[in-house]
Amino acid sequence: MTEILSAAERAVRLAVNKGFDEAEAFATKITRRDIIFRNTIEATRRSTVAGLSVRGIVGRRIGFFSTSSLERSDVETAVDESLKIARANNEDPAWRSLPRKYGKASVQKIRDKNIEHATAKDLVDEVRLAINTVHEVGSADITRGFLLTNVMSNAIANSHGCRLERKETFAAMSLAAKAGTADKKGVSNEFSVTRLWKGLKTKQLAHAAAERAVKMVDAVQIPNGKLNTVWRNDAFSSIIDAMLTRTITADAIQKNRSPWTGKIGQHVASEGVTIVDEGRMEAGNGTRPFDDDGIPQTRTPVIEKGVLRGFLYDNYTASKESRLSTGNAHRDVGTFGSQANYMRTPAPYPNNLVLEPGDATAEELIKETKNGLYVVETIGEWLSNPISGELSATLSSGFLIENGELTRAVKGVIIASNFFDILKGKMDLRANDLHSAGAVYAPTTQVNDMTVAGE
């Protein structure tokens, strides 16, 4: 048995001995390595953190305390503090029980030995590849970059005799490049996060960053107006993330903070739109054999052919409606092991939310659009309002589409629309290039008739 699983089981036993009716312990160990670089390497880091949380229930009163130490005395303190909180807490009439059964789904490619065993030299070599590729393009420089690997193990155990463990890996590369002079500068940012070392695609990423930085040197503003747009896959995945991930969860529905309440079975999008949470997708960033409640992850349709089909549940929200959890309990929301996940209580969140791709290529979409705007990078899209549907993003990198071709670089305009309107027929043309910058997978997508605030 691993150190974290035995610590979790010990914590559960201790909690029951001290008077909890039910108890659960969730333990984490993360080893992170990263390199921070520009055109040279500034810092290399290795970090190992561990921790454990105790969730205990006394007569429908819930307590929770976490600690970064697995030492017996600190775990005992966590149990005592958790008990103190439970006793101070109000009774939760909706509380049923912790899961009485855990389960593991069969999932592929969420753990890579090349990441687990990567040496400092392997990381330095990958960074060298990024630096050299950017310089091959010519006049571009790297202004900020990092390469990161995470190896994360979790253990969960409860007083109903359940216990499980899992181990997963992540690698991520981030690059900011610049070209031009102090007064006329072009910049670009590229990012990828993946389960597998080879999924980093460093050369491709570095090439894209360098090339676009050079093109952005001549970026212009454009006047106010209405334009058809094409969003690169990762930019559109950020839009879906901002507009859907926090409102299609069962807690948002149950607590009246979602615009989707009471709309199951209704046509909320055009027939061409299907959005599914694929909890077992091969090599998916959010794929895990079981969620943070110990429930197997699965496939949950959210919107099917335009019809709202369902929401995402964890154990607590599911038991409130006397139904089964969809295996969407998360203790870290979209941080891919960069934050210790044992510190939070579980809440429902998408595993891999997938917007079904189309069958065109991204180039065909641009050609088809004829005149409009190609959106590559935005800032502030996360400031949009998923409750009112008001979507707004500030373009930091994009291109005009003229006669079906990418022409002048554009930046600095605000692009706005209502997301609920977009779903209903303004985003029916999609490419076949599904990609993710986080928990949402989206293809390059044409979005028609957006308001552009410029000069």
Q: Which of residues 329-358 bind other proteins (CB under 8 A)?
A: 338, 340, 343-345
Task: Report the residue count for the chain.
Answer: 455
Restricted to residues 41-60, the positions that interact with other proteins (CB under 8 A) are: 41-51, 53
Q: Of the ranges 83-91, 202-210, 300-308, 365-373, which one interacts with other proteins (CB under 8 A)?
A: 83-91
Per-residue string for binding with other proteins, 381-420, x by CB under 8 A? -xxxx-xx-x-xxxxxx-------------xxxxxxxx--
Per-residue string for binding with other proteins, 182-221, x by CB under 8 A? x--x-x----------------------------x--x--
Distance from C-alpha of 207 to C-alpha of 136, rounded to nearest angstrom: 8
Chain centroid to CA 365: 26
**CA quadruple 389, 412, 334, 234: dihedral sign:** positive
By beta-carbon proximity to other proteins, the closer residue of 63 and 350 is 63
For residue 292, give the DSSP letter. T
One residue of 64, 231, 290, 349 binding other proteins per CB under 8 A? 64
Restricted to residues 105-134, the positions that interact with other proteins (CB under 8 A) are: 120-121, 124, 127-128, 131
Distance from C-alpha of 32 to C-alpha of 49, rounded to nearest angstrom: 9
Restricted to residues 142-161, the positions that interact with other proteins (CB under 8 A) are: 143-144, 146, 148
129: three-class secondary structure by DSSP: helix
Restricted to residues 262-291, the positions that interact with other proteins (CB under 8 A) are: none
394's tokens = 């500030």
Q: Is residue 305 a contact point for other proteins (CB under 8 A)? A: no
Q: Is residue 20 a contact point for other proteins (CB under 8 A)? A: no
By beta-carbon proximity to other proteins, the closer residue of 378 and 444 is 378
- 5 phi/psi in degrees, rounded to 5: -70, -40
Q: Of the ranges 8-16, 66-74, 192-200, 275-283, which one interacts with other proteins (CB under 8 A)?
A: 66-74
- 74 phi/psi in degrees, rounded to 5: -70, -35
Contact 299/278 with Cβ under 8 angstroms?
yes
Longest dimension (CA), the chain: 73
Q: Is residue 139 a contact point for other proteins (CB under 8 A)? A: no
Cβ 392 to other proteins shortest distance, Å? 4
Contact 192/163 with Cβ under 8 angstroms?
no
